[in-house]
Structure 1
Amino acid sequence: MSIALFLLTFLFPPRTISTPALALPSTVASLSPRSVHVAVPIQPVQRPPRTLSYTVTATTYWPEPGQTDSNPMETADGSIIPTRHSSRTRWLAVSRDLLEGSGGPFRYGEKVRVQGMSEALDGVYIIHDTMNRRHRHCVDVLVNERECKNGLEGRWSEIKLSKLAPKPVWQAS
């Protein structure tokens, strides 16, 4: 303890007050606790986008320089077509007006449903390639040359192309 504190305590000893506590003013004494509302931000539930559906013309193609560019096994998104590909590979090329960069709704790597071609070709496809600039509202289904010669080659109009909604991602809250 310092000398100054000792002297102050000696000269002015602490006193205890035995008088009753002072009454609070009536405005303070009449207050009662009230409920307080806490604002918790509520995040909106992300709903999957509506399933988009388009009517397009569909054709088949296989990777050869006459139907593609000089490097037929490489697609527009950089994927390499498997050597032993067939219609079961389920890859699709879309016209540029259907791609997101040109104002369309689709992106590379998205899954789409194709309906109305044939029983063998209808199904879910992944977009990997782009068609020539001259095509509008068209899709090209990847097949192999042998399948085309056996009857899968063709041109179909009024084909329904639907964007598949992404699977919801569930999170604990």
Structure 2
Amino acid sequence: MVTLIAPSLIVPRRVPRRLPVYTVTATIYEPDPRQTDSEPFITADNSFITPQHSSKNRWMALSRDLLKPWGGKFNFGDSVRVTGISKKLDGTYIIHDTMNRRHRHCMDILAAKWEHLDEMWKNVKIVKAVKPEPAWRAG
């Protein structure tokens, strides 16, 4: 008599990838022609900034060296996790704009003048926020 032993199905755990963390200088900007361009309420990805905007919108601009059209790793529309500013301002932001070409390794948080936020923070960490993959999908 022969006994067959079925091998157990071993499903290896997927090792989570480590995404690169970038250290940047963070600043605040307002949709004002003196801080942007002649169309301050239109961002680089053609999004419209509403007059009631605030830092709660969680929109940001990145320096060109970090954006894909100029050789970086981030795209317009990407979600970015930001830490190192403050409890109020740390969190996930969406990239909608770019900064002047003279800036390198910088980010700008869209805010309103009435918020009276600090102007600059150094050694801020940013990492691309990945969307969790669905655990199961019908085929």
Q: TM-score range by the shorter chain?
A: 0.7 to 0.9
Change (3 A) 1:142 1:91: same
Structure holding more helix per residue: 1
What residue ranges of structure 1 are gaps of 5+ in the alignment? 1-45
Change (3 A) 1:168 1:48: farther
**1:172 lines up with 2:133 in the alignment:** no
Aligned to 2:102: 134
TM-score where L is the length of structure 1: 0.68
Aligned to 2:80: 112
Deviation at 1:172, TM superposition (A): 3.2
What residue ranges of structure 2 are gaps of 5+ in the alignment? 1-13
Distance 2:72 2:30 in 1: 24
Which is bigger in relative contact order (C-alpha 8 A, separation at least 6)? 2
What's the % identity of the aligned pairs?
54
Deviation at 1:116, TM superposition (A): 0.5
Runs of at least 4 residues off by over 6 Å: none
Distance 2:99 2:131 in 1: 25
Q: Which amino acid aligns with 1:157?
A: K
Larger radius of gyration: 1
Distance 1:99 1:47 in 2: 27
Deviation at 1:49, TM superposition (A): 5.3
TM-score where L is the length of structure 2: 0.84
Q: Which amino acid aligns with 1:114?
A: V
Matched residue count:
125
Structure holding more strand per residue: 2
Aligned to 2:119: 154
How do 1:58-137 residues align onto structure 2 when only pairs under 5 Å count?
58-137=26-105
